[in-house]
Structure 1
């Protein structure tokens, strides 16, 4: 069997994600494991797949004038990825892209398909892609130029205005920076900085966590410190555990804990002293939490599978000093690393998830001690799942209120952000070139 080229592998993945709903990040990792690729080819594969998915709606707009008939899904994805390379990858010559695309088309679809692909791409090369000046509707213009569904752009414009929405959509096209969290019971941040520097990995300090470092160059996965002394974690995700303010000796609940980044961060903040009950719905995901805790030598985490909507059947009321509910959500804050989400989600999904979030809130808050605090967080940017969810919940539960000290304890870099409201803080992806997150802290009075 002949070895598949990078572009053949890319086409297979794009067709899987686009037509069967596969997850791009999982499929890319599997493809890299299953194929003997050089580092350069791994980079090109990732670039083509993520880039084509990120820009899918823009590529569709570019392709429309050149294709007048229905095409098979794989042919459409082949044309998308080819135009992506021709428009966005300067280091790849157009003729090389066209030649290989025609070869793939002939191999998969025969001479007729290869002739069609060749004709379309030669026309694109000659005429250039259409400009977006003709799009007059400002919402549609943002949608086309940044490849976000029209309904989603319209929803965000209604919530946040055109300027913040455009900034967010453009930011979602940028590659996300990598951040790491230092295990402080094993090493100091200063010492880790030096070791990484010696390994050729350049860093700077996170503005959101004292344990956090942002990677400026180099790959921390290749460091001697990974995975036992450093954890790959987005810095906005780190902020969540920082704001839980868990102290040594406390009894803590992490209601939706997988894959374990925040759970292990809580254990580190507690200096591995106290008890954390960490739950998730699926055994497979609970296993990830356990593995992470073992890697970091954290022994206070009790992890098991459980539907956290029924935790009142497992724990007594008033048992926990701190509760973290990092709720399942639409994930619209993490579109940089999971671009396929924006094409597969609908408004109905948002409302269905909001119901689950409410059920989780109703289930876990009675487990909080008097004067205990509950941090609610999501990795989305939708008000219905965030501020509106918290407002509605508090209206029904006067025994809870937003903890005023939460806002005082936020890092200085968060104090003047657009997303601060009476109900918490919405961090947008453009704020720190990181994941979008909402978080708030409630206190039981």
Structure 2
């Protein structure tokens, strides 16, 4: 694909993401599948789209100094300016004059001479004068919000929960690229064999401290290897692997995964059980339940039975005290996975968190009675918000004295995690900057 065509496709993608509040990773995947895009162009498209979205508020702050506020720009023009400014400020692969030339050509092609002149004028002014200095923003919270492109309300919320320094670390970590991690299917191959084969292919890898099945891939695209295509490994963040490790499911057990899609944790659970026992996995949507089953088939796992159902209604399908282990990976705001899904930070509001916390509490209260006495229940989310995590679990325990935090949970955490700032008497909050993982909360409850 020619450079002009690639960047015009990027403008289209950015418009669709902005207009429809679409998930960038899904739209990028669709674009790559439907167009003839080389691996090199695929990498550049991903870099520009993700980067432009990741730094959107910062870029808009820069543009305010160069675009007349009274001038209402068409959406595609704003996206063209954003992506051009992103390349000029955050990438060094292409010289500014080439970025400006291409932007002007796209403006001519899609608009008219006046728009092309505006785009040229704005970008040349940026090149000549430089962007405004954020250090001039006196309010610490607002400055951090602009510099790291997080909504100000979200920065304030985190600051109230965790203090300014931890919030600052979290916001900056959300701008960094997270290392890819994969989980080995141990019933098919060993971690050592995987790492040896990848080393021969020129990959740089290391063992995960979070799971004996985890491998961190520092260099190389594993998606194009036979190991991924033939189900020897599956993509999964280390924090997500830790959830299953702490579930302590063993062969022959009866396990419930109440909110299972996309299926990473439930397939990991089946592997930990050596594919012996029974796992019932639910998702609200039938299509996602089918995807879970498909993932299980790809990994040659037979004990998973995936079905569609609302987790809040599972007492209608199962008797109380049925399961040895229960996993509730609750639907959440997703503020722990901003690095991989940057759109999340712009598409959520405080009322969404309150609504989700209500649903999470309903799920926990409905599913917990299905656990056997002396059984273990993991509650987890991929967010860092206390309302969805620590506060919610505290309320549940206050109202359900037959449940308590399992204290052996803390002893079984990886050594490097046990002394992290996210450990409390309720559970573990992983922050994105602590171990280069997703932000994740997990705790283990025991029925006594």
Q: Which TM-score bucket, shorter chain as reference?
A: over 0.9
**Does residue 440 of structure 1 match 2:443?**
yes
2:119 to 108, 117, 123: 117
**SS state at 2:421 partner:** coil
1:94 to 85, 96, 117: 96
- Using structure 2 for the length normalisation, give the TM-score: 0.98
**SS state at 2:27 partner:** helix
Instruction: Tell me the CA shift for residue 200 of structure 1.
Output: 1.8
2:181–2:237: 8 Å Cα contact kept in structure 1?
yes
In structure 2, the partner of 1:354 is 357
**Does residue 37 of structure 1 match 2:37?**
yes
In structure 1, the partner of 2:310 is 307
**Match runs of 1:8-407 below 5 Å:** 8-68=8-68, 69-227=71-229, 228-407=231-410
Instruction: Tell me the CA shift for residue 176 of structure 1.
Output: 1.6
Determine the C-alpha separation between the residues in 2 that align with 1:336 and 1:8.
25
2:57–2:150: 8 Å Cα contact kept in structure 1?
yes
Determine the C-alpha separation between the residues in 1 that align with 2:183 and 2:43.
25
Which stretch has the larger CA shift, 106-115 or 319-328?
106-115
Q: Deviations over 1:380-434 (max 9, x none)?
A: 0000000000001111111111000100110101111111111100000111111
**Does residue 414 of structure 1 match 2:417?**
yes
Instruction: Tell me the CA shift for residue 70 of structure 1.
Output: 2.1
Instruction: Tell me the CA shift for residue 238 of structure 1.
Output: 0.2
**SS state at 1:288 partner:** helix
Determine the C-alpha separation between the residues in 2 that align with 1:440 and 1:356.
18
Determine the C-alpha separation between the residues in 2 that align with 1:3 and 1:10.
11
Q: Deviations over 1:24-80 (max 9, x none)?
A: 001111111122222221111111100000000000111101011221121111111
Determine the C-alpha separation between the residues in 2 that align with 1:275 and 1:75.
54
Instruction: Tell me the CA shift for residue 20 of structure 1.
Output: 1.7
**SS state at 2:254 partner:** strand
**SS state at 1:66 partner:** coil
Determine the C-alpha separation between the residues in 2 that align with 1:328 and 1:65.
40
Instruction: Tell me the CA shift for residue 103 of structure 1.
Output: 0.9
Determine the C-alpha separation between the residues in 2 that align with 1:118 and 1:351.
45
Q: Deviations over 1:338-374 (max 9, x none)?
A: 0001001000000000011011001100000001010
1:236–1:434: 8 Å Cα contact kept in structure 2?
yes
2:336–2:384: 8 Å Cα contact kept in structure 1?
yes
- Alpha-carbon RMSD across the aligned residues, in angstroms, is 1.1
Determine the C-alpha separation between the residues in 2 that align with 1:301 and 1:274.
9
Alignment gaps of 5+ in structure 2: none
Determine the C-alpha separation between the residues in 2 that align with 1:321 and 1:374.
9
In structure 1, the partner of 2:5 is 5
**SS state at 1:421 partner:** coil
Determine the C-alpha separation between the residues in 2 that align with 1:198 and 1:134.
51
Instruction: Tell me the CA shift for residue 3 of structure 1.
Output: 9.8
Determine the C-alpha separation between the residues in 2 that align with 1:11 and 1:339.
17
1:199–1:223: 8 Å Cα contact kept in structure 2?
no
Segments ≥4 residues shifted beyond 6 Å: none
**Shift in CA distance, 380/226, structure 1 to aligned 2, threshold 3 Å:** same
Determine the C-alpha separation between the residues in 2 that align with 1:76 and 1:240.
41
Which stretch has the larger CA shift, 220-229 or 51-60?
220-229
**SS state at 1:17 partner:** helix
2:4–2:102: 8 Å Cα contact kept in structure 1?
no
Determine the C-alpha separation between the residues in 2 that align with 1:329 and 1:11.
30
2:4–2:106: 8 Å Cα contact kept in structure 1?
no
Determine the C-alpha separation between the residues in 2 that align with 1:3 and 1:166.
37
- Using structure 1 for the length normalisation, give the TM-score: 0.98
Determine the C-alpha separation between the residues in 2 that align with 1:360 and 1:83.
44
